[in-house]
Amino acid sequence: MPDLARFSVSLAKNLLDKFDQHIQAEQYPTRSKAVEDLIRLCLIKKEWAQGDEVAGAVLIVYDHHKPNLAAKLTRIQHDYHHTIISTQHIHLDHDNCLEIIVVKGKPEEVETLAQRLKTMKGVKHGSLTMTTTGKGV
């Protein structure tokens, strides 16, 4: 178990009330856990801004009947083989596929990959979620 440090924070009552509503809605067990997550988020955003290595997932939903789209998406992914850790292909229904592409690398490279994939004609939706590799937090 990591060493714990206690500190005191003074906030406006209405801000604390809103924070307590938020942590209750998010089902945090304690204020401490919620504050810990906020601090980590702040540090992770700094990692992204500094260009430190990040991990994440690119999700795309596309029409697999679109001519040559699957081949084009695969070709783009091969261009980023050093960034892509894993992919998972899911058949959502007769027409639509979901790909989950797990990535690790520099934020700008990960963002470029996500942008290239989601802007392909035939891709219905794409999103990128980045997080920390855990080294800096």
Annotated binding site for Ni(2+): 78, 89, 91, 97
Rounded to the nearest 5°, which phi and psi values hold at 53?
-60, 135
Q: In what order do the strands lie in the sheet with 96-105?
A: 84-91, 96-105, 54-63, 123-132
Annotated binding-site residue numbers = 78, 89, 91, 97
Cα 45–Cα 131–Cα 93 angle in degrees, nearest 5: 135
Residue in this structure with the two tokens 């490279």, named with its chain if needed:
109
CA dihedral 129, 109, 99, 45 (to 10 degrees): -10
- Please give the C-alpha separations between residue 31 and each of 10, 24, 72, 113, 124, in angstroms, as whole numbers: 13, 9, 47, 37, 39
What is the identity of the amino acid at 111?
Answer: E
